[in-house]
Amino acid sequence: MDRPGNIHLLHLQHSEPNPFSRPTTPGHHDLQIGFVGLGAMGYPMARNLAKWRKEHTQAPTPLFVWNRTKAKADDLAKELGPGLIAPVDSLEKIAIECDIVITNLSNDDVVRSVYKQFAKVLEEHKPTRNKIFVESSTIYPALAVELDNLISSIPSTHFIAAPVFGPPTAAAAAQLVIVMSGDYRTKKEVAHLLHPAVGRKVMDLGGNIEKAATFKLIGNALILGSLELLAEVFTLSDKAGIGAASVHQLIKDIMPAPPLISYGDKMLHDKFDGSKGFAIDGGLKDSQHIRRLATELDAPMPALDAAHQHMLTARALYANQVKQGNAHFDVLDWSSLIAGSRVSAGLEPFDSSKQHTKPVPED
């Protein structure tokens, strides 16, 4: 990991939605594309990619998809049809037959396991033409280096990091921001595959493979820190007898950033269904990565420490509700960290309708 004194400034082209010129080669129309991981983000990403290729490039082959639970792949094939989606039974088939493979997986251990399987297969079946592997999950930067060394050591095989910013709703609308680092020519090829099919913008973080994963953690730190601040001011406003709704309206009036408004609405109305957002276990995984990065770089982040503790509290409180049979969701959203702030202030953690400090309108 680079230390602060060794970090070079990156001149990013923020104004252009895609900073890469179109490749001079014929392109990816005739290439076999594979997608691995059909979770809350991967499913809509794969769906949009398959639809775009069919509608705009007349790609002759369907998108190969693999998921640990095959039913997800079958559901996508049923939704789009066999001409667009082809579920496959093994990672071996993905590794051997696909020219470009995109992965979107739940955590570092799963990512490492999948890529080790890819490498093992390709060591036994040497590629006869170029292959590209694209990792779009949120992983620790050191793992990106590990994967690059693993994959790029195989002849004719390339790896880039390309994590994405945006919730599942943005993935469904192809409005993700894609951040790339790694080999320039490989990034150029992938950028024009994913934009605008999957995302609205591509950012280039340069050749150092770590940088995209690092920037993804920095961006998630910004979001998580904002959630913590929202939770604290909403709780304070409820305790003061003004009510969180007034703060939410103030945000709309003076700081109308869509994430603040959206997450504020979730907290205000206790919309903590993680299946429709970002699961709290994923939030805790990310906060652990961020805190590890901050420790390695001697960059204190007290707001992130508070957010981490509040997510742990929220998860523990919800686990107790599950045991008692009072749970309303199968998966808890990370915006539920406000439960930790509320309970510390003596308020009901998950049901704001029970707060005793609601504003009383005048007659």
Task: Please give the pLDDT value at position 1.
Answer: 43
Residue 86 pairs in a beta bridge with: 64
Q: What is the mean pLDDT of residues 18-24?
A: 86
Angle, CA 192 vertex, CA 190 and CA 195 arms, to 5°: 105
362 inside domain = no
Q: Are residues 18 and 147 in the same domain?
A: yes
Q: Are residues 253 and 128 in the same domain?
A: no
Task: Please give the pLDDT value at position 6.
Answer: 44
Residue 181 pairs in a beta bridge with: 161
Q: Provide the number of structural domains found in the chain.
A: 2
| pLDDT confidence band for 2 (50 / 70 / 90) | very low
Task: Give the helix ranges, DSSP H, for the chain.
Answer: 42-52, 70-80, 91-97, 108-124, 141-152, 168-172, 184-194, 210-239, 244-254, 258-268, 280-296, 302-324, 338-344
Convert the pLDDT of each residue in 66-114 to its tens digit: 999 999 999 999 999 889 999 999 999 999 999 999 999 999 999 999 9
Q: Residue 68, SS3?
A: coil
Q: Are residues 63 and 18 in the same domain?
A: yes
- For 303, counting Cβ atoms within 10 Å of its Cβ (0-12 exposed, 13-18 middle, 19+ buried), the class is middle
CATH number for position 195: 3.40.50.720
Q: Are residues 102 and 251 in the same domain?
A: no
Compute the chain's Rg from CA coordinates. 22
Closest CA to 47 of 78, 74, 80, 88: 80
Angle, CA 215 vertex, CA 210 and CA 216 arms, to 5°: 100
Q: Residue 103, SS3?
A: strand
Q: Are residues 236 and 308 in the same domain?
A: yes
The answer to whether residues 144 and 18 touch, using CB atoms and an 8 Å cutoff, is: no
| pLDDT confidence band for 28 (50 / 70 / 90) | low
| pLDDT confidence band for 60 (50 / 70 / 90) | confident
The answer to whether residues 207 and 181 touch, using CB atoms and an 8 Å cutoff, is: yes
CA distance 252 to 141: 35
Q: What is the DSSP letter of 57?
A: I
Specify the pTM.
0.92
Convert the pLDDT of each residue in 185-213 to its tens digit: 999 999 999 999 999 999 999 999 999 99
CA distance 201 to 203: 7
302 Cβ partners below 8 Å, 6+ apart? none
Q: What is the DSSP letter of 56?
A: I
The answer to whether residues 140 and 173 touch, using CB atoms and an 8 Å cutoff, is: no
Q: Are residues 79 and 192 in the same domain?
A: yes
Q: Is the per-residue pLDDT at 8 higher than 80?
A: no
Q: What is the mean pLDDT of residues 281-294?
A: 98
Residue 200's Cβ-side half-sphere holds a number of Cα atoms within 13 Å equal to 10
Q: Are residues 142 and 280 in the same domain?
A: no
Task: Please give the pLDDT value at position 360.
Answer: 57
Q: Are residues 234 and 350 in the same domain?
A: yes
| pLDDT confidence band for 14 (50 / 70 / 90) | low
Q: Is the per-residue pLDDT at 11 higher than 90?
A: no
Q: Residue 108, SS3?
A: helix
Domain termination residue (choose one: 185, 208, 231):
208
Q: Are residues 223 and 184 in the same domain?
A: no
CATH number for position 278: 1.10.1040.10
The answer to whether residues 192 and 18 touch, using CB atoms and an 8 Å cutoff, is: yes
